[in-house]
């Protein structure tokens, strides 16, 4: 009798559970699982969109190995990820440290640093296009008034990526808030004990603050890399979808988009997408595998 | 003496902190100020070195029933230009002495006379160039539908994953978390072909319908929040004959308002910001959202910085106003997303 009651509850729970989760079950099937399999299949096909896909084996992947633009876009993306992520982390960390100094007007400064990060991406890109204008932009105006060399920024293949990195650093407000929350959780008595033991500010930073902040730093590092690998909108808007000058801002996602929706090479674009996915997966795994060495998770483990 | 030294050092550190905060605060704020200042300048005064710090306008006077530009010579005397001649020369008359005979001078030696003034026409012109009213309406339709869809679907799923005990729910949760890792580029093309087959291209449906099917990150956020609601509450309701949907609607949802507000806010911002989705699916200018409209406008009129800054300001201001009204929810949400890991 009791067993029967239990099994009806179980049945009802299963039914209700599936019912409540049905939106995501449909979503996973229609917008994730099927598209993943389909895109893997298309990556082995010639698929010009208007005609049905035709199986061509590994041709797309072979083309890719000999495609100089593929390597260029990969190198651009790596450049951006390697510089933009640490630059953003460093700036956000510095801002968080400053804000954590219990100064008056902290809320005002916090707002000043945070607001750039919520500016709509396209509006921010258009704004920076003007700030970075090589002749009359605000940045070069200031550099000229200070008698410093004024680079060509978005007109120069050498300076276009640094320009985008500079712009990305402006938007690190979100990370700053994450760090600020983390800094407020660092036990104060540790600092006091260290000070009594004669530890200077540098030692306290290296041996208390950074270890305690390492989970937050690690989280932003992973998110930053994944985001940088997919960097798209800003470069697309600022170069009118071209990735110029001289392909210097043709990032991986831009090249993928161009193949898919400008050249209508859907099969090739899918092959690129799978390469991107594989690289992100490998890199994330690598970061997680090595994280035990440099991430400190308090008492638990 | 030691105490005095220490106090001095602390004061020095405070001064240095303030100095750094003020410098960095200025650097982070200046782009906004410049956006606003540029949007209020006439086209003729934008591409200048050194630039006008406050918006300036050229001065005109009415002479003999005609509007004439005013120039200043080196001594500061104001001259009205009656007629521009070949070779950079012009026929001019002193502004304060209209009876004086006209002279012919070279314009190269003169500077246009300016006075502070705001140029609002960048806004009126820019907002006509892009069908602003249409695009604002489109953006609002898409954003609001996404907010409704996300809140509804994510809360239902989060309830199913936290408040109902069924076999397989943890597996499903892990699968949902794993899909957060999947870059959108992988699924983008087949999803596009699905929407092509449904004839949904150039409608808002491809932008709205997915939000009704759950967003992994928000499901995660709400599930964590729901787990914090005491079990006793739902047990008591169950004894009173309340079913799962009743508990969801009468107990869990009302208690989760802060978390739902965070989800709604972030979804709204995400939809307002979205560029790739509208870029792929919307074809007509009157169907564009503001982000896409602004990007296309930039592509066509890349040099009209006054208008570009005016439109950028108009796209940005609602978000900043929204931020100031919802600061608490915002900052809590940001830190919540960081603490999870």
Higher pLDDT, B10 or B160: B160
Diameter of chain A measured on Cα atoms: 90
Is B65 in the same domain as B136? no
Cα distances (angstroms) measured from residue B264 to each of A106, B212, B333 = 27, 13, 11
* SS3 at position B47: coil
Span of A24-33, A47-56, B303-312, B325-334 with lowest mean pLDDT: B325-334
Q: For residue B79, what are the β-bridge partners?
A: B71, B94
The answer as to whether B334 is a domain residue is no
CB-nearest to B169 from A17, A113, A272 is A17
pLDDT higher than 80, residue A43: yes
- Share above pLDDT 70 across residues of chain A, in percent, rounded to a whole number: 97
Higher pLDDT, A137 or B329: A137
Average pLDDT over residues A125-154: 94
pLDDT score recorded for residue A53: 94
Q: Which domains does chain A have, with CATH numbers?
A: 2-60 (no CATH), 66-294 (1.10.3720.10)
Q: What is the pLDDT of residues B106-122, one digit of tens each?
A: 888 788 888 898 999 99
pLDDT score recorded for residue B340: 45
The answer as to whether B50 is a domain residue is no
Say if the Cβ atoms of B190 and A34 lie within 8 Å.
Answer: yes
Is B295 in the same domain as B167? yes
pLDDT higher than 60, residue A20: yes
Is B153 in the same domain as B211? yes
* DSSP-derived pairing of the beta strands B111-112 and A45-46: unpaired
- Rounded-to-integer distance, Cα B288 and Cα A127, Å: 20
CB-nearest to B50 from A19, A126, A141 is A141
Is B235 in the same domain as B200? yes
pLDDT higher than 80, residue B335: no
How many C-beta atoms surround the C-beta of residue A71 within 10 A?
12
- Share above pLDDT 90 across residues of chain B, in percent, rounded to a whole number: 58
Q: Please answer whether residues B34 and B26 qualify as being in contact, where contact means their C-beta atoms are separated by less than 8 angstroms.
A: no
Contacts of A160 (CB under 8 A, 6+ apart): A153, A154, A244, A245, A248, A249
Span of A70-74, B124-128, B331-335 with lowest mean pLDDT: B331-335
Q: Please answer whether residues B310 and B127 qualify as being in contact, where contact means their C-beta atoms are separated by less than 8 angstroms.
A: yes
Say if the Cβ atoms of A123 and B21 lie within 8 Å.
Answer: no
Query: Quick one: closest CA in A to B27, which residue?
Result: A170
Interface test with B, best of A40, A101, A126, A170 (most B CBs within 10 A): A126
Is B283 in the same domain as B184? yes
Cα distances (angstroms) measured from residue A155 to each of A143, A160, A246 = 17, 7, 10
Contacts of B175 (CB under 8 A, 6+ apart): A28
Say if the Cβ atoms of B213 and A136 lie within 8 Å.
Answer: no
Say if the Cβ atoms of A118 and B320 lie within 8 Å.
Answer: yes
The answer as to whether B270 is a domain residue is yes
Provide the Cα torsion A189, A195, A200, A204; round to 10°: -20
Query: Quick one: closest CA in B to A255, which residue?
Result: B185
Is B104 in the same domain as B221? no
Average pLDDT over residues A273-298: 90
pLDDT higher than 80, residue A6: no
CB-nearest to A17 from B152, B160, B319 is B160
pLDDT higher than 80, residue A301: no
pLDDT score recorded for residue B137: 96
Q: Please answer whether residues B235 and B173 qualify as being in contact, where contact means their C-beta atoms are separated by less than 8 angstroms.
A: no
pLDDT higher than 50, residue A243: yes
Question: Residue B216 — very low, low, confident or very high, per pLDDT cuts 50/70/90?
Answer: very high
Residue B50, preceding peptide bond in cis (omega within 30° of 0): yes
Is B166 in the same domain as B270? yes
Q: What is the pLDDT of residues B66-80, one digit of tens each?
A: 888 888 888 878 888
pLDDT score recorded for residue B59: 87
Is B272 in the same domain as B147? yes
Say if the Cβ atoms of B17 and A127 lie within 8 Å.
Answer: no
Say if the Cβ atoms of B334 and A174 lie within 8 Å.
Answer: yes
pLDDT higher than 70, residue A141: yes
Go through A203-237 and write b for each residue having 16 or more CB atoms within 10 A of its CB, e for each that does not: eeeeebbeebbbbbbbbbbbbbbbbbbbbbbbbbb
Number of domains making up chain B: 3
DSSP H helical segments within A230-265, as ranges? 233-238, 252-257
The answer as to whether B122 is a domain residue is no
pLDDT score recorded for residue A233: 96
Question: Residue A4 — very low, low, confident or very high, per pLDDT cuts 50/70/90?
Answer: low
pLDDT score recorded for residue A5: 66
pLDDT score recorded for residue B72: 85
Q: Please answer whether residues B274 and B289 qualify as being in contact, where contact means their C-beta atoms are separated by less than 8 angstroms.
A: yes
Residue A52, preceding peptide bond in cis (omega within 30° of 0): no
At B194, which CATH number? Answer: 1.10.3720.10
pLDDT score recorded for residue A298: 65
What average pLDDT does chain A have?
92
Higher pLDDT, B203 or B126: B203
CB-nearest to A130 from B38, B187, B327 is B38
Average pLDDT over residues B143-164: 97
The answer as to whether B92 is a domain residue is yes
- Rounded-to-integer distance, Cα B145 and Cα B271, Å: 9
Q: What is the pLDDT of residues A146-156, one digit of tens each?
A: 999 999 999 99
Tokens 């603490």 locate to B339
Cα distances (angstroms) measured from residue B208 to each of B98, B290, B294 = 66, 16, 21
pLDDT higher than 50, residue B341: no
pLDDT score recorded for residue A30: 96
The answer as to whether B309 is a domain residue is no
Higher pLDDT, B4 or B339: B4
pLDDT higher than 80, residue A24: yes
Provide the Cα torsion B101, B102, B104, B110; round to 10°: 110
* SS3 at position A287: helix
Whose CA is closest to A271, among A127, A58, A25?
A58
pLDDT higher than 60, residue A179: yes
Cα distances (angstroms) measured from residue A30 to each of A37, A45, B185, B216, B230 = 11, 21, 16, 15, 35
Higher pLDDT, A231 or B53: A231
Six token digits for residue B234: 């739902």
Domain housing B237: 130-300
Question: Residue A300 — very low, low, confident or very high, per pLDDT cuts 50/70/90?
Answer: very low
* SS3 at position B163: coil
Is B150 in the same domain as B196? yes
The answer as to whether B333 is a domain residue is no
Is B225 in the same domain as B165? yes
Is B221 in the same domain as B178? yes
DSSP structure class, residue B72: E
Rounded to a whole number of angstroms, the distance from the CA of A156 to the nearest CA of chain B is: 17
Average pLDDT over residues A28-39: 96
* Helices B290-300/B305-325 angle, 10° precision: 160
Rounded to a whole number of angstroms, the distance from the CA of A112 to the nearest CA of chain B is: 6
> Where is mean pLDDT largest: A14-23, A94-103, A193-202?
A14-23
Give the CA radius of gyration of chain B: 30
Say if the Cβ atoms of B30 and A269 lie within 8 Å.
Answer: no
Is B165 in the same domain as B277? yes
Question: Residue B278 — very low, low, confident or very high, per pLDDT cuts 50/70/90?
Answer: very high
The answer as to whether B326 is a domain residue is no
Average pLDDT over residues A237-261: 95
Q: Please answer whether residues B79 and B105 qualify as being in contact, where contact means their C-beta atoms are separated by less than 8 angstroms.
A: yes
Q: What is the ipTM of this complex?
A: 0.91
Query: Quick one: closest CA in B to A258, which residue?
Result: B280
Question: Residue B338 — very low, low, confident or very high, per pLDDT cuts 50/70/90?
Answer: low
Say if the Cβ atoms of A21 and B169 lie within 8 Å.
Answer: yes
pLDDT score recorded for residue A46: 95
Average pLDDT over residues B206-235: 93
Span of A187-191, B207-211, B290-294 with lowest mean pLDDT: A187-191
pLDDT higher than 50, residue A242: yes
* DSSP-derived pairing of the beta strands B60-63 and B56-58: unpaired
């Amino acid at each position: 009798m009791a067993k029967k009651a239990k099994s009806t509850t179980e049945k009802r729970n299963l039914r209700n559970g599936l019912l409540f989760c049905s939106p995501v079950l449909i979503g996973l099937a229609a917008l994730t699982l099927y598209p993943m399999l389909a895109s893997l299949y298309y990556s082995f096909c010639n698929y010009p969109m208007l005609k049905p896909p035709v199986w061509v084996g590994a041709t797309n992947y072979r083309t890719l190995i000999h495609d100089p633009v593929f390597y260029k876009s990969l190198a651009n993306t790596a450049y951006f990820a390697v510089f933009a992520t640490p630059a953003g982390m460093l700036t956000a960390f510095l801002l968080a440290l400053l804000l954590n100094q219990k100064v008056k007007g902290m809320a005002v400064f916090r707002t000043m640093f945070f607001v750039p990060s919520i500016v709509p991406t396209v509006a921010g890109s258009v704004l920076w296009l003007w700030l970075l204008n090589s002749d009359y932009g605000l940045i070069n105006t200031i550099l000229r008034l200070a008698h410093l060399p004024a680079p060509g920024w978005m007109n120069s293949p050498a300076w276009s990526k640094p320009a985008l990195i500079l712009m990305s650093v402006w938007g690190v407000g979100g990370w700053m808030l994450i760090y600020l929350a983390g800094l407020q959780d660092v036990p104060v008595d540790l600092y006091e004990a260290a000070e009594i033991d004669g530890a200077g500010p540098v030692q306290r930073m290296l041996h208390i603050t950074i270890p305690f902040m390492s989970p937050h730093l690690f989280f932003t590092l992973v998110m930053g890399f994944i985001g940088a690998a997919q960097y798209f909108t800003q470069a697309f808007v600022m170069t009118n979808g071209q990735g110029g000058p001289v392909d210097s801002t043709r990032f991986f996602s831009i090249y993928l988009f161009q193949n898919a929706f400008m050249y209508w090479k859907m099969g090739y674009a899918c092959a690129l997408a799978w390469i991107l996915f594989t690289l992100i997966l490998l890199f994330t795994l690598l970061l997680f595998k090595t994280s035990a060495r440099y991430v400190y998770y308090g008492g638990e483990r | 003496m030691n105490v005095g030294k220490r106090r001095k050092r602390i004061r020095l550190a405070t001064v240095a902190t303030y100095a750094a905060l003020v410098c960095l605060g200025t650097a982070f704020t200046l782009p906004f100020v410049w956006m606003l200042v540029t949007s209020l300048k006439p086209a003729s005064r934008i591409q200048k070195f050194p630039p006008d710090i406050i918006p300036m306008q050229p001065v005109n006077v009415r002479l003999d029933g005609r509007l004439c530009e005013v120039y200043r010579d080196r001594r500061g005397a104001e001259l009205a230009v009656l007629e521009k001649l070949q070779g950079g020369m012009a026929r001019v008359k002193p502004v304060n002495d209209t009876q004086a005979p006209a002279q012919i001078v070279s314009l190269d030696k003169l500077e246009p006379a300016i006075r502070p003034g705001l140029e609002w026409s960048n806004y009126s012109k820019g907002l006509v160039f892009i069908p602003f009213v249409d695009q604002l309406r489109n953006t609002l339709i898409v954003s609001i539908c996404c907010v409704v869809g996300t809140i509804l679907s994510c809360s239902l799923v989060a309830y199913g994953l936290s408040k109902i005990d069924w076999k397989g729910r943890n597996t499903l949760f892990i699968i949902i978390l794993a899909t957060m890792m999947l870059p959108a580029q992988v699924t983008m093309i087949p999803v596009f072909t699905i929407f092509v087959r449904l004839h949904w291209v150039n409608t808002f449906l491809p932008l709205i319908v997915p939000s009704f099917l759950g967003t992994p990150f928000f499901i995660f956020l709400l599930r964590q929040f729901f787990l914090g609601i005491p079990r006793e509450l739902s047990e008591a309701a169950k004894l009173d004959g309340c079913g799962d949907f009743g508990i969801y609607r009468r107990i869990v949802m009302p208690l989760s308002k802060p978390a739902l507000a965070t989800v709604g806010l972030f979804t709204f911002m995400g939809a307002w910001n979205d560029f790739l989705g509208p870029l792929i699916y919307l074809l007509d200018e009157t169907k564009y959202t503001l982000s896409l409209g602004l990007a296309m406008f930039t592509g066509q009129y890349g040099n009209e910085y006054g208008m570009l800054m005016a439109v950028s300001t108009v796209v940005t201001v609602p978000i900043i106003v929204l931020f100031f009204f919802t600061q608490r929810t915002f900052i809590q949400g940001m830190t919540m997303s960081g603490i999870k890991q």
